[in-house]
Structure 1
Amino acid sequence: MKQTIFWAGDSTVKQNDFTSFPQTGIGQGLSLYLKKGVQIKNYAQNGRSTRSFIAEGRLQAVEKNIKEDDFLLIQFGHNDEKPDEERHTEPFTTFQENLKQYIKVAIDHKAHPVLITPLYRRLFKEDGQLVDDTHLDYPDAMIALGKELKVPVIDLCSISKDLIQKTGDEKSRKWFMHLEPTEYPNYPEGKIDNTHLRYDGAVAFAGIIAKELRKLGGRYADLLLPIDGEKEDSSFLID
């Protein structure tokens, strides 16, 4: 039976189509790192927080389809900090309480939850350093919850911050939606967006997730294509 990775999250991991091209979600990029026998079902949607995702029945849809030995990747934080009542949560109370519901869905179905902190925003100051704490206390709250419940956490926030800082202001633009006027038909006036990704960015940051899954070992590493020196388990690829 094929294993499936379910995504619950926001626009940074969403499965995009031609209407928003070249915007590409990390969920799309992750598919390049997975063995043939692993499927992705991406329920992420633009602008959703842990709260609005549940309110709209999206977590319920995941629950109807997830099965034993599947994986639920849970990535939120960008929109939980928004002030509107439909989305806002507080990091160490309602945000964590909502995340517990996602984790419960996975565990109740004998699937495997993984918490993923939000992608860092590409916001540079005049001195060439990134703006601090673009996601406030939400990443820390997610990490703390993972430790409390013994659920794996991939700290994409801090790892992506380090990578963006190392790459620098100019070179890191290629990963994000920095578009010239008339460059793409969907954005005739161009765009400067330091949150959402182009294809290269989705692949780069999905690579971080793949690397961290490999570090977790066992069932998590078994999802991934082999790297140099590893042998692929051909039995896993039988359709």
Structure 2
Amino acid sequence: MALMAPQLMSAQRKAVAAPMEDRNQVVDNTLDSLNKARFARPLAGSSRKGDNPVLFLVGNSTMRTGTLGNGNNGQWGWGRFFPDYFDSEKITVENHALGGTSSRTFYERLWEDVLSGVRKGDWVMIELGHNDNGPYDSGRARASIPGIGKDTLHVTIKETGEQRIVYTYGEYLRCFIRETKAKGANPILLSLTPRNAWADADSTVIERVSDTFGLWARQVAKEMKVPFIDLNEISAAKFERFGKEKVKTMFYIDRIHTSEFGARTNAASAAEGLRGLKKCRL
């Protein structure tokens, strides 16, 4: 697979926004080697029963359950519990999320494998953006350009000398959508799971991403005419009802990775959002 559709190459601009700061301020304890990830993650489409559709989950550690996908380190992702909301005799759910990935690195490294198993009538739910920050050209080099524009940035990875073209967060989402639709499958975008981060001194209001990743995903979904689930808002509203002390039990070590309780809550929120979509056959 080419890094990006050829028509995007003409979109390069001179001025590109600086990468976003890592506001999570955590060490991602679930970053896998690609070899281990491919061993632990399912072969795309392998769960399919007869001609039934498959629901593919694309995301990061908030969706994935630990390095081996089994919660053995105490960190759970909501994708582990999402199959509970479906009849496995009619549709199977495959969790292809990988800790530490951004929209950029999932597209560059893992998407081709997932897409190879997608068929007409399948579904792909995408929740990415937690890791779309940091440097463009060093370390994990996983930042996308903020926003949904057509900006591009040519970079040389400092450690390897590899040449890359970086696109906006919105453009990576468009690529997932276009390529899913090209297979005759159905994409759905989600906003991010909320962090354990309170916007006010009294700890009554959870911070949203409604001005950044949530807004951008919503805008791309509207532009591309695909369903959008505001997972960030649905779970954040629950957190505010639960209160600060209860919300602490929903996270694992830091402010972004969830415990089993938190993962189950986010899975329920994703299901609620799905049920609320109009004219969505899923």
Same fold, TM-score > 0.5, yes or no: yes
Give, in whole Å, the separation in 1 of the partners of 2:217 and 2:209: 15
Against the structure 1 CA distance between its residues 97 and 18, is the aligned structure 2 distance closer, same or farther, given a 3 Å change threshold? closer
Deviations 1:121-176 (A, max 9, x none): 11135411345345851110110111111110001112221111221100112221
For residue 49 of structure 1, what is the aligned residue in structure 2? 102
**What's 1:36 paired with?**
88
Matched, 1:78 2:156: no
What's the secondary structure of 1:92's corresponding residue? coil
Query: Does 133-142 or 38-47 show the bigger shift?
Result: 133-142
Mapped contact 1:115–1:151 kept (Cα < 8 A):
yes
Structure 1 equivalent of residue 111 of structure 2: 59
Aligned residue identity for 1:150:
K
Q: Which runs of 5 or more residues in structure 2 are unaligned?
A: 1-50, 150-167
Structure 2 partner of 1:91: 147
- Match among 153, 158, 179 for residue 228 of structure 2: 153
| CA displacement 1:42-76 (0-9 Å, x = unmatched) | 221111111011221x1101111001111100101
Give distance in 1, aligned partners of 2:210 and 2:104.
16
Per the alignment, do residues 19 and 145 of structure 1 end up closer, same or farther by CA in structure 2, a change over 3 Å counting?
closer
- Counterpart in the other structure of 1:103: 177
Distance 1:74 1:168, change over 3 A: same
Q: How many residues align?
A: 206
Any idea what the Cα deviations from partners look like across 1:75-117, whole Å, max 9, x if unmatched?
Answer: 0110113344321121223111110111012101111100011
- The letter of the residue matching 2:148 is F
Query: Do the aligned partners of 1:118 and 1:156 also contact (CA within 8 Å) in 2?
Result: yes
The yes-or-no answer on 1:195 pairing with 2:256 is yes
Q: Which residue identity is paired with 1:77?
A: G
Of 46, 59, 63, the match for 1:9: 59
* Structure 2: distance between partners of 1:83 and 1:201: 29
CA distance 1:72–1:18, shift in 2 (3 Å):
closer
- Which is further off, 107-116 or 134-143? 134-143
Overall identity of the aligned pairs, in %:
27
Pair 1:116–1:71, CA change in 2 (3 A): same
In 1, Cα distance between equivalents of 2:135 and 2:197: 20
Contact 1:77 1:135 in 2 (8 A): no
Q: 1:133 to 1:217 in 2, by over 3 A?
A: closer
User: Hey, what's the Cα distance between the residues in 1 that align with 2:71 and 2:212?
Assistant: 33
Q: Distance in 2 between matches of 1:137 and 1:42?
A: 25
Output the CA distance in 1 between the equivalents of 2:206 and 2:262.
19
Structure 1 unaligned runs (5+)?
A: 178-190, 222-239
Which residue is 2:27 aligned to? none
1:68 aligns with 2:120: yes
Which AA in structure 2 matches 1:113? Answer: P
Check the 8 A contact 2:208/2:232 in 1, yes or no: no
* Equivalent residues of 1:214, 1:220 under 8 A apart: no
Aligned residue in 2 for 1:142: 217
Partner of residue 169, structure 1: 244
| Higher fraction of helix | 1
Counterpart Cα distance in 2 of 1:144 and 1:134: 13
